[in-house]
Amino acid sequence: MFHYDRDILIHSIGLWLDAGRKRDFSFVSHAHSDHTNRHDRVLATPATLALAEARAAFRLASGARKRPVREVDTLPLDFNSPLKIDGAIVTLFPAGHVLGSAQILIERDGRRLLYSGDFCPQKTSAAEDIEIPHADTLIMECTYGLPEHAFPARDTVIAQLCDFARKTLARGMTPVFLCYALGKGQEVMKILAEAGFAVAAEGETYELARVYERFGIDFGRFRRLDSPVSPDEVVVTPSTEKIEMFLGGRRFRTASVTGWGAGAFSYRARRANVRIPLSDHADFAGLVEYVKAVSPSEVYITHGPDEFAYYVKKEGFKVGSLAEKRPV
Ligand SMILES: [Zn+2]
């Protein structure tokens, strides 16, 4: 049903999946894949398209991007809305990774192929809850595909995050959460909003949160960090360099919020006073559970350690090699 030629191609309908190279027609699973403007035609959820557009606009306005992105033919597709393309039926399911992130199911001639994109099986605060369909063939990411990757329970992490904010404010300092501008930033903003904190967000994080708002996520009291922080505010930003001018002389403490903070990969976490292991991916156990839930007859893995194939086989599943799916 598919070929692998440095990217994955569903050849019967000419659709590439998260293609890294410029292609005629590609599915884009979520707005982290900074490839939306590269292809001639893009299939994605409305939220992914809106987030990608907001990121591009912010980067152009801030000077990070020199030229405006070229016009792209977009094909927005809502979750759970089957679309017929050349005799196949394509359906998107929420992946729970960031707002709008999608798995894609392609059905043709009675066969079902599922491509996971980045996914998070744990319930999050700001992204849609994952829905896992059954498929015959599964192509999945396995970023944390080694047993040592075990994330703590989400409630524990949320308590740790709020505790850090509360204690830092009580000491007369500004809590600064360091997280990616898309996804993790809004996740942390939502957690802080639910705990009643006032949030000042760095420019790109703020602009993307505005897109989340358009899709129904409420962040409570928050503002763009474009003037000095007040003593009761919590800052969310990708880096301290971007916001130093607004801290004035205030003392601050940083918390790096990343899945890499958990287990063996903590050295990857950025320099920070504390690390909070909040992930928007599946940990090892979550990946294995995902395979079981999809219950496929064959699995292909990508974006992660090759060793994960061993563990999938151990669970009784057949694992194929992408390298052997080259077009003949
Ligand atoms: Zn991602």
Q: What pLDDT band is residue 269 in, cutting at 50, 70 and 90? A: low
Its domain, for residue 293, covers: 3-148+281-325
Question: How confident is the model over 208-234, as a mean pLDDT?
Answer: 96
The rounded distance, in Å, linking the Cα atoms of 284 and 292 is 13
Q: Name the strands in the sheet holding 137-141, side by side, starting at the edge strand that comes first in the sequence.
A: 83-85, 88-94, 102-108, 111-115, 137-141, 298-302
**Same domain as 128, residue 259:** no
3 CA distance to ligand 1 centroid (A)? 23
- Examine the pLDDT at 124 and tell me if it is beyond 90: yes
Over residues 34-40, the mean pLDDT reads 76
**Per-residue confidence (pLDDT) for residue 40, from 0 to 100:** 92
In this structure, the answer to whether residues 179 and 232 fall within a common structural domain is yes
Contact status, residue 50 vs residue 211, Cβ threshold 8 Å: yes
**Do 122 and 168 fall into the same domain?**
no
189 and 250 in one domain?
A: yes
Please say which residue of 253, 276, 299 terminates a domain.
Answer: 276
pTM over 0.75: yes
- Residue 119 alpha carbon to ligand 1 centre in Å: 8
Show the tokens assigned to 191. 């957690």
CA–CA separation, 209 and 187 (whole Å): 9
pLDDT reading at 265 higher than 90: no
The identity of residue 248, as a single letter, is G
Q: Are residues 110 and 258 in the same domain?
A: no
How sure is the predictor about 260, in pLDDT bands with cuts at 50, 70 and 90? Answer: low
CA 64 to mean position of chain CA atoms? 21
Domain count, the chain: 2
pLDDT band at 221 (very low <50, low <70, confident <90, very high): confident
242 or 241, which is more confident: 241
Q: Over the stretch 307-324, which tens digit does the pLDDT of each residue have? A: 999 999 999 999 999 988
pLDDT, mean over the chain: 92
127 and 199, same domain (yes or no):
no
- Look at the block and give the residue holding tokens 């898309």: 182
More confidently predicted of 245 and 214 = 214
Residue 91, CB-side half-sphere exposure with 13 Å CA sphere: 16
- Residue 112's Cβ-side half-sphere holds a number of Cα atoms within 13 Å equal to 16
**pLDDT at residue 271 in the model:** 75
Distances (CA, A) of 309 to 2, 13, 131, 208, 298: 19, 28, 23, 36, 11
Where are any strands of DSSP class E within the chain? 3-4, 8-10, 15-17, 25-27, 41-44, 73-76, 83-85, 88-94, 102-108, 111-115, 137-141, 174-178, 198-201, 222-224, 233-237, 252-257, 274-276, 298-302
Task: Report how far ligand 1's centroid is from the alpha carbon of 104 (Å).
Answer: 15
- Spacing, Cα 169 to ligand 1 middle (Å): 31
Contact 173, 306 (CB under 8 A): no
- Report pLDDT for 193: 96
% of residues, the chain, pLDDT over 70: 95
Q: What is the pLDDT of residues 145-187, one digit of tens each?
A: 999 999 999 999 999 999 999 999 999 999 999 999 999 999 9
Examine the fold and report which residue of 254, 276, 298 is the final residue of a domain before the chain moves on: 276
Q: Decide: 118 and 174 in contact? Cβ < 8 Å.
A: no
**Distance between Cα 117 and ligand 1 center (Å):** 8
Residue 139 per-residue DSSP state? E
Which of 138, 102, 100 minimizes the C-alpha distance to 118?
Answer: 102
Residues 132 and 158 in one domain: no
Q: Does one domain contain both 177 and 114? A: no
Q: Kindly report the CATH number assigned to the domain that includes residue 316.
A: 3.60.15.10
Judge if 138 and 161 occupy the same domain. Answer: no
Dist. CA 101 → ligand 1 center (Å): 8
C-alpha 182 – ligand 1 centre gap (Å): 9
Q: How confident is the model at residue 328 (pLDDT cuts 50, 70, 90)?
A: confident
pLDDT > 50? residue 266: no
Ligand 1 centre from 32 Cα, in Å?
Answer: 5
Whole-angstrom Cα distance, residue 120 to residue 126? Answer: 12
